[in-house]
Amino acid sequence: MAERVALITGGAKGIGREIGLALAEEGWSVAVCYRTSAQAGQETAEAATALGAPRAMALQCDVSDYEAAEGFVRKVEAEWGHIDALINCAGPYHRVNLLEETPEGWLDMFANNLHPVFYCARAAAPGMKERRWGRILNFSMATADRISAQPQITAHFIAKSGILVLTRSLARLLAPHGITVNAISPGFIDSGSAPAEELEGMLKHIPAGTIGTTDDAVAVARFLLSDEAGYITGANIHLSGGWGL
């Protein structure tokens, strides 16, 4: 099999990092971008190389800016020849009552969660179409397919719901070109982004009775990125142990 290349936004930490390292073990070249975590990004690239990635790259990039996002895609294509998989993991959030949210905070949630998925997919799709093979994997959240009140994370929730619409729209457009587009919607995953006490407090709300791990996310991602998943597109896989159903 020819060398495959994965581009991972938000790939310096958490789920994105672990997916990148798992792909490195399978012989993929891995390019990750980060906004502020320079040391973590470099450590991820070094770890990917140690695990077997033919090539690894970590680049500072604010993918909420279209020109920067497109530039990252073009850099990887120019240096490595192509991109086989785009994995959109960037997605910060904050908790604030809707009526206390600021216009800046509101816009920030869309700029950093929804817009990068469009920007990066728009930039990466032409090359995938030309090669007639590609995988785009987006991360939403476990309750995003429910139109429910979310007064403490309203903008974040709307952005994650929008990712599902964008995923299905891209899947419809790109299926004729051998490209799949799918979403993973995590619930509570121990990825280092939430305090342990918060995760522990949610156990009683999770039917499976356990907190998810990054290994759970990696397992789903590896399948959706594989040749075996070539007939699956537009799907939204809940990774939540039943939470949010």
Q: Which pTM was predicted?
A: 0.96
Q: Which residues of 170-179 are buried (b: 16+ CB within 10 A; e: fewer)?
A: bbeebeeeeb
pLDDT band, residue 193 (cuts 50/70/90): confident
Residues 234, 169: contact at Cβ < 8 Å?
Answer: no
- DSSP β-bridge partners for residue 9: 33, 88
Which pair of tokens denotes residue 79? 């240096």
Sign of CA dihedral 18, 20, 24, 25: positive
What is the CATH architecture of 5-239?
Answer: 3-Layer(aba) Sandwich (3.40)
CA distance 36 to 105: 18
Residue 216: pLDDT over 70: yes
Q: Could you give the 3-state DSSP secondary structure of residue 205?
A: helix
Pairing of strands 236-239, 179-186: parallel
Residue 1: pLDDT over 80: no
CA distance 34 to 171: 26
Which pair of tokens denotes residue 82? 């192509």
Phi and psi, residue 66, nearest 5°: -60, -45
CA distance 115 to 75: 20
- Tell which residue, 26, 33, 3, 184, has the closest CA to residue 123: 33
CA distance 43 to 104: 32
Residue 112: pLDDT over 90: yes
pLDDT for 23-56, tens place per residue?
999 999 999 999 999 999 999 999 999 999 999 9
pLDDT for 55-71, tens place per residue?
999 999 999 999 999 99
CB atoms under 10 Å from CB of 128, counted, come to 22
